[in-house]
Structure 1
Amino acid sequence: MLKKLIVLAALLLPACFANAHEYKIGELEIAHPWSQELPPNAPNVAAYFVIHNKGSAADRLLSVDSPIAGEAQLHEHVMQNDVMKMNHVPSVEIPAGGEVTFAPMAYHVMLMNLKDRSQLSDGKRFPMTLHFEKAGDLKVEVVVQKQAPDGTQPHVHAQ
C-alpha cells in the first residue's frame, strides 16, 4: 500500500508544479509570474509575481515591458481617505535580504493598450521583461490563469 502511495505521489507531483516557475538574475529570484484570464473586452491586464532579493544590497525594479502591450507601468494600491486607489510608481525598491510581492490590491504591473489578446486565455503564456537597476534585464513568461493562486476571481483594472 505504501509503495502505491509513493508511486501516486510521484505521478502527481509534476502536476502540482506545472504552473510554478521561477527565474533568477544575479541575487534576485522572481517566483511564478502570472496574470488572470479576463473578459475579451478588458481594457488592461495586470501581471503579478514575487521578487526575492538574496543579496546584501538593495536593487530597484525600474520598468517592465511586454510585446502584448503598448505600455506597461508599475502600480500600487494604496488606501487614501478610506478609498483604495491605484497609483503609478516610477520604480520599486527590492530591499537587501527581503522580498516584494506583486499581487492583486498591492504592487502590480499594469499592461495597457493591449496589442495581442490571443495570449490572454487560461493556460497561455506571454513574455515580459523586467528591467532592474543593478541586476539588469530579465525575460520571464507570465502564465495566464482563470483564478488567482489563492482562488479569487479576476477583476478588471480600468484606466
Structure 2
Amino acid sequence: MNNAFTSVCALFVGLALSGAAVAQHHASGAAAQQAAGPRSSTVTASDCWIRQMPPPTASGGFFVLHNGGTQDAVLTAAHSPDYGMVMLHQTTQEDGISKMSMVEQVAVTAGGQLDFKPGSYHVMLEEPRAGLHIGDHADLDLILKDGTTVRAVCELKSPKSAPPMAGHAH
C-alpha cells in the first residue's frame, strides 16, 4: 500500500512539474508579445507563407528577411496572435539526414537578406487559433535584438502546394 501511495504521489509531482514547464514556456511567449517594441526602420520581411498542417502537427513559416541597415540585425524571437507557440528553427544536414533544431538567434548581415525556406531557417508554429483555413492570412511578428519588431503577413498554404521537407527529424 505504501508503494502504491508513493507511486501516485510521484505521478502527481511529475504532472505538476510538466504543467509548470508548459506554463513557463507560454509565459515566455506572452512576455515576448508584450515586450514587442516599435517597428524596425531598417529590417523588413517579404514573401511570407505558412505550410499549414492539421493540428497537432507543427506548421512551418517561411519568408525573406531584408536588412537595409548599416549594422547586422539579429532575430531573437517570433510571435503570432494566430498561434500559441512560435519558435525559430534551422534544418541542417548531418550524415545525409536532415535534422531540425531550435535556434536562439539568427543574424542578417547589414545590407543583406536571409531566406527562411524549407530545408534551412524557418519558424515552427504550433497551436493555431480556431478558424484558420488554407488561403487565410496570419500575422507574424519577428522580434529583433535591438527591441524593434518586423511584421510579416503570411498566407496559409496547403502542405500539398508547397515543397516538402523530406527526411527531417527533430
The TM-score with structure 1 as length reference comes to 0.71
Per residue, is there more helix in 1 or in 2? 2
The yes-or-no answer on 1:141 pairing with 2:153 is yes
Q: For 1:51-97, what per-residue CA distance to the aligned partner results, in whole angstroms no more than 9, with x for missing partners?
A: 11122110100100112322211000001122110011001001111
Instruction: Give the structure 1 partner of residue 121 of structure 2.
Output: 107
Q: For 1:119-159, what per-residue CA distance to the aligned partner results, in whole angstroms no more than 9, with x for missing partners?
A: 2x2210112211012360233221112323xxx3587x886
Greater gyration radius: 2
Give the total of aligned pairs. 130
Instruction: Give the structure 1 partner of residue 71 of structure 2.
Output: 57
Question: Which residues of structure 2 form unaligned runs of 5+?
Answer: 1-38
Matches of 1:145 and 1:84, distance apart in 2: 23
The yes-or-no answer on 1:34 pairing with 2:17 is no
Q: For 1:20-53, what per-residue CA distance to the aligned partner results, in whole angstroms no more than 9, with x for missing partners?
A: xxxx831112111111233x34521111100111
Match of 1:68 among 58, 61, 82: 82
Q: Indicate the percent of aligned positions where both proteins have the same amino acid.
A: 25
CA contact (8 A) 1:26 1:135 kept: no
Per residue, is there more strand in 1 or in 2? 1
Instruction: Give the structure 2 partner of residue 116 of structure 1.
Output: 129
Distance 1:154 1:144, change over 3 A: farther
Question: Which residues of structure 1 form unaligned runs of 5+?
Answer: 1-23
CA contact (8 A) 2:43 2:150 kept: no
Distance 1:41 1:72, change over 3 A: closer
CA contact (8 A) 2:45 2:150 kept: no
CA contact (8 A) 2:48 2:64 kept: yes
The TM-score with structure 2 as length reference comes to 0.67
Q: Please provide the CA RMSD for this pair.
A: 2.5
Instruction: Give the structure 1 partner of residue 94 of structure 2.
Output: 80
* Secondary structure, counterpart of 1:25 in structure 2: coil
CA contact (8 A) 2:118 2:164 kept: no
